Structure 1
């Protein structure tokens, strides 16, 4: 896999008066985000070390370092981080078992059916009760269940290609 930043969450607010922030995690379970450090913050806020964090209801709360490497200890100093996306280097993510994939490795892949018709590119993924769903953008938007062995014949994240058993008129 190419080493690239992967969106893992977003700083959504402030927590208390001691410089802690509220974090919405994209990971499942949400506290898996705590396993990654440093965090790369969007809006050109740079790399920040995670000093402490814990689950707080349906979000996380975290204490990060400032640009100088010292702990952020005031609400005012933390306020500039609100709204920043949290990314981590793809290389920090643990390898998965065979035939399991991170969504970030599927997004951008070309989806081709058995008749060799390109149906579009994966622009998003949806989580449903039964299967994850590929959201394709192409000549039109398509939703295809990500069901290996059923609708999905083969996945090659290195080539950026997913082969599917799906008609081009569906």
Structure 2
């Protein structure tokens, strides 16, 4: 069980029951998607409650993943946890190389262009399939406007620098876009 000071990161969600033996369909935010199985201890969050679970087995299935959790032995048990977010403790995440970032680290950062124009803050990140990731940037009270922008997260092309300590991302992006 995690204590109340444990910080979590959302890595996916349970989006359905699979079969009759307690397996669940998993939507993974990790890249590659089966990396979510590297974390043997998950926490499920639903309706504001967090409970620890252990992954018994898992595998790729079609375009997604399926997993069997310890203690989840039939379809009714699997259906009971559908809609739960899959969390891991932040301290269990592997350390990254210099210049690499987890998506959760980018959310909330201020985005400015190379001319110093504030475009807003990163609301969320999304995958654009095999192409590239995309930052969803919402305009705020201090930005050039209140527009939402979708900016490809392509380093050295659109994303010129990311400074986690300064909470800032500099982009090559015209405010008119």
Q: 1:68 — aligned with what? A: none
CA 1:151/1:51 → structure 2, altered by over 3 Å: closer, same or farther? same
Q: Is the 8 A contact 1:37 1:88 kept in 2?
A: no
Counterpart mapping for 1:35-114 below 5 A? 35-43=38-46, 44-65=49-70, 71-114=71-114
CA 1:150/1:51 → structure 2, altered by over 3 Å: closer, same or farther? same
Correspondent of 1:161 among 141, 151, 168:
168
Q: Is the 8 A contact 2:16 2:78 kept in 1?
A: no
TM normalised by structure 2 equals 0.80
TM normalised by structure 1 equals 0.83
Q: What count of residue pairs does the alignment treat as equivalent?
A: 163
State the shift of 1:130 in Å. 4.8
Q: 1:28 — aligned with what? A: 31
Distance 1:53 1:80 in 2: 19
Deviation digits for residues 13-72 of structure 1, max 9, x if unmatched?
11222222121212222211100132111212511111221222222221213xxxxx22
Gaps of 5+ in 2: 1-5, 140-145
List, as ranges, runs of 4+ consecutive aligned residues in structure 1 with deviation greater than 6 Å: none
Gaps of 5+ in 1: 66-70
How large is the Cα RMSD of the aligned pairs?
2.1
Q: Is the 8 A contact 1:19 1:78 kept in 2?
A: yes
